[in-house]
Amino acid sequence: MRRAAVSLRWRLLLAALLAVSLALALAGLAIARLFERHVTQQFDLRLQDQLTQLLAALEPDADGQPVLARSLADPRWQRPFSGLYWQVQAVGRAQAEPVLRSRSLWDERLALPDDTLPDGALHRHALPGPAGQRLRAMERAVQWGETGPRWRVAVAADTRELQQALQAFQGALALSLAGLGAALLAAVALQLWLGLRPLGALQQALQAVRTGQRTRLQGRFAAELQPLVDEFNRVLAHHEQTVERARRLAGNLAHAIKTPLAVIGTLAEELLPREPTIAAALQEHAQRLREQVDWHLRRARAASAAHPARHTPVQPIVEGLLRVMRKVHALRGDGAAPLQLSLHGDAAAVFAGEAQDLQEMVGNLVDNACKWARQQVRVTVQRDGEVLWLMVDDDGPGLSPEQRRQVLARGVRADERVPGSGLGLDIVREVAALYGGALQLQAGPLGGLRATLRLPAGDARPSVAAHSGTLTAEAVS
């Protein structure tokens, strides 16, 4: 529901549904009202014709009383409670019995309201009729001679057929408008699909840039979207230029600093025989400065390289690092057995980034694990959709939850007796963050520490897919 609430397509469809429903409802009411007016007028015209025929058939007798000179043609006048009635009543005597009435009324009477009827005026009334009928009546006052009495001549008809006709029309109208509404909504949905289809092409182009298949938005776009595409491509180009300038600036600055550091190191070596304390202090600070420069250089390189357009197969990088680590940690003190380094997991996994950055991160984690491991270090590679997981486990003493939080701070070391600057894990965390990833430390299944690296996964290239499978310990020689 939340996704539908923010969807442009659903918003437009909802707005179209409301607009179409309101328009059809108003149109239905207007059409139904016009049809009701039309059929009511036709009903009144037929009723007026009946009244005209009745007036033509009435004549005064010798006493001035109205009599029916000839029979009326419609047989309903003779059938009791047929739904068609007439009566003649003296003006001003609404409660009196009529002097004449149709046989269809039997012993009932039309309950006409007591109103004043000018000569020739035509009045219409809605009356209750016999047998629960609803009647529509029409009356006119007549007078024979200038001094004779005035009479109210009225005809009435049951409105049941009128109501049935109205209900039938309203039902057909509702079905017709519902079908029209469905057709309009289908047309709107088709229009939205065609209108928003270019946004799908734009989304695919953006996804191609994000996954590294393209460095620019490419494709044919609608004229309304092309300015946006051009601006976005200019932003991408400007970003690349800015990053490249920052990378060059960092490199130039580091190069400028490294030269004085080298001079300081040489002077410290020359000073060592005469002033060993001062020389040692100079060498220590020079080494720290070198580490700082290297760290910032790596950050600058990673910031410029953290682009999904690069794709690095994981297996060759990790295998190469494990071979190097076997050599580096081959000579272990106290007669310890050689370390067993193994690689497991997805052989086709690909990192969406630079190979140097992957080497930097995995190398630091594996080197750290080798320093603390007793006999075994295991690297596991897994891919979950667009996420690449790298787990480095060792069987060392591990770290407590508090220590795991502390060692992620820059320059903090778990044990000062183990060589290192305390920058390795922080470098891994910084480089991973540049790629939108993260580093987590937790207790491992081998009894020691597990370092979990979450990184963006890249698309497998044909050369990588050809070797897809599952890595085992035997895959690493």
Kindly report, residue by residue over 214-267, the tens digit of the pLDDT. 778 877 777 777 888 888 888 888 877 877 777 777 767 766 777 777 777 777
Domain 227-305: give its CATH code.
Answer: 1.10.287
Spatial separation of the C-alpha atoms in residues 425 and 363, rounded to whole Å: 10
Does the predicted model carry a pTM greater than 0.75? Answer: no
Q: What mean pLDDT is predicted for residues 156-172?
A: 92
Q: In which band, very low, low, confident or very high, does the pLDDT at 451 lie, cut at 50, 70 and 90? A: very high
Q: What mean pLDDT is predicted for residues 359-384?
A: 90
Spatial separation of the C-alpha atoms in residues 255 and 366, rounded to whole Å: 29
The answer to whether 60 and 26 have CB atoms below 8 angstroms apart is no
* Average of per-residue pLDDT values in the chain: 81
The predicted structure's pLDDT at residue 418: 43
Q: What mean pLDDT is predicted for residues 94-118?
A: 84
Which amino acid is it at 283?
A: Q
More confident residue, 477 or 91: 91
279: left (phi over 0), alpha (psi -120 to 50) or beta: alpha
Angle at 379 between CA 374 and CA 385, to 5 degrees: 155
Spatial separation of the C-alpha atoms in residues 459 and 313, rounded to whole Å: 9
Domain boundaries, the chain: 1-210, 227-305, 312-475
The answer to whether 142 and 58 have CB atoms below 8 angstroms apart is yes
The answer to whether 117 and 91 have CB atoms below 8 angstroms apart is yes
DSSP per residue, 425-448: HHHHHHHHHHTT-EEEEEE-TTSS
Distances (CA, A) of 94 to 85, 87, 90, 313: 17, 12, 8, 105
The predicted structure's pLDDT at residue 84: 93
DSSP H or E segment with residue 240: helix 226-271
Enter the tokens of residue 453.
Answer: 């690296």
Enter the tokens of residue 183.
Answer: 């057709």
The distance in angstroms from the start CA to the end CA of the chain is: 53
Domain 312-475 = CATH 3.65.10.10: no
